[in-house]
Amino acid sequence: MQKSKGYRSSFRKYMGRYWQLYAMMLVPFCFLLVFKYGPMLGNILAFRRFKPLTGPYGVSWAEPPLRYFKQFLGQKQFWTAFRNTLIISIENLAVNFPIPVIFAILLNEVRSVHVRRFIQTVSYMPRFISTVVVISILSELLSPSTGLLNRLLSTVFGIPRIYYLNEPVYFRLLYILTDMWQFTGWTAIVYLAAITAISTELFEAARIDGASRFQQIIYITIPSIMPTIMTMLILSVGNLLVLGYEKVLLMQTPTNMAVSDIIDTYVYRLSLGATSPQYSLAAAIGLFNGLIGLILVSGANFLAKKITGSSIY
């Protein structure tokens, strides 16, 4: 009895001191619940029948409950989208993971601070441009009649003019190159920060021993930033399936659909982009995709804990 009284009064004392902090986060916390956890709960639609105007959680359980999962797992289009997602992701990782590392190392070799800063400023800029603008610029550069690239290729090398954005063969290449253009400089920031953190004494000692700059890169720079590289690699693997679907949507044309349809755009086409939307089916695919993502991230985090001794999150 007395104990609970003491507990109560200490609770009162605690709240007397901290109530303002709780009051402060009341509204943002509700936002988190409504706008992040609300949709998370909404995933339940993957197991339920949807009826328009009856709320986001469906009207009744699907019969059988995994009906929509069975439905999309049996669809050829789903597997095409799944395969495309995987191929684009892996190719993109293979190309665009090492390039910022190389760029950062080379940029660090630029001795003049002013030149380095200029290059940095210029190379970050594409990161802040909207995907719409990026793809608009791309479509102008590649235009068969007036685009700079086609003019160059046809006048200098005599290569016939092609509308590259329409050709399925070039879709992945263009996806990867635009990613490179937008994010190389930006991602390099992390590696540059890691390189500047290396003790200069190491380089001085190597120089006295007669190591060339190239040897210094191989034996000092790269081993020193290896933990950063590993962390970034694990992070990228965790986010493997998170593709820029906005960019893919903008780059899709009827002719490149066979290679450009990814899970996210397939979901969009089944639901919001369709004349008769299949919300439950789309939600089931979305949930499937989200769960794979969650597994990848947790796996990556687990690996990070094992390898580097500290988890990323």
Partner 1 sequence: MKRSENKNKIRERKSILSFITIPVMVVVTLVCIIPFLYIIAMSFSSPAAIINNRVSLWPVNFNFDAYRSVFSYPNFFRAYGYTLIFTIGGTLISLAMMVLFAYPLSKEQLKGRKFIMKMVVFSMFFSGGLIPNYLLVSNLHLTGSIWAILLPFSINQFCLIILINFFKSIPAEIEEAAIIDGLGYFGILTRIVLPLSGPALATVGLYTAVFFWNSWFYPLIYLNSSQYPVMLLLRNIVNGSTLAVETGGSGAQFALSISVKSAVIIVSSLPLIVLYPFLQKYFVKGMTVGAVKE
The size of the interface with partner 1 (CB under 8 A), counted in residues, is: 98
Among 55, 65, 98, 168, the residue binding partner 1 under the rule CB under 8 A is: 55
**Binders in 191-210 for partner 1, by CB under 8 A:** 193, 207, 210
Amino acid type, 157: F
CB of 1 or CB of 52, closer to partner 1? 52
51: tokens are 């009826």
Give every CB contact of residue 113 below 8 A, 6+ residues apart in sequence: none
What is the maximal distance between C-alpha atoms in the chain? Answer: 94
Tokens matching residue 234: 């694990």
> Which of 27, 63, 76, 113 touches partner 1 (CB under 8 A)?
27
Is 126 among the residues that bind partner 1 (CB under 8 A)?
yes
Confirm or reject binding of residue 142 to partner 1 (CB under 8 A): no
> What is the three-class DSSP state of 239?
coil
Q: Which amino acid is at 260?
A: S
* Coil, helix or strand at residue 242: coil
Q: Using CA atoms, how far apart are residues 144 and 149, in angstroms rounded to an integer?
A: 8
21 contacts partner 1 (rule: CB under 8 A)? yes
Query: Which range in 60-68, 85-93, 167-175, 177-185 contacts partner 1 by CB under 8 A?
Result: 177-185
Q: Contact with partner 1 (CB under 8 A): which of 4, 20, 200, 275?
A: 20
d(CA 58, CA 79): 26
**In the window 72-91, what residues touch partner 1 (CB under 8 A)?**
none
Q: Nearer to partner 1 by C-beta: 199 or 215?
A: 215
User: C-beta of 105: minimal distance to partner 1 in Å?
Assistant: 9
CB-nearer residue toward partner 1: 6 or 38: 38
Instruction: Indicate whether 249 belongs to the interface with partner 1 (CB under 8 A).
Output: yes
Does position 283 interact with partner 1 (CB under 8 A)? The reply is: yes
Cα separation, 101 vs 93, whole angstroms: 13
Residues forming beta bridges with residue 48, ordered by sequence position: 61
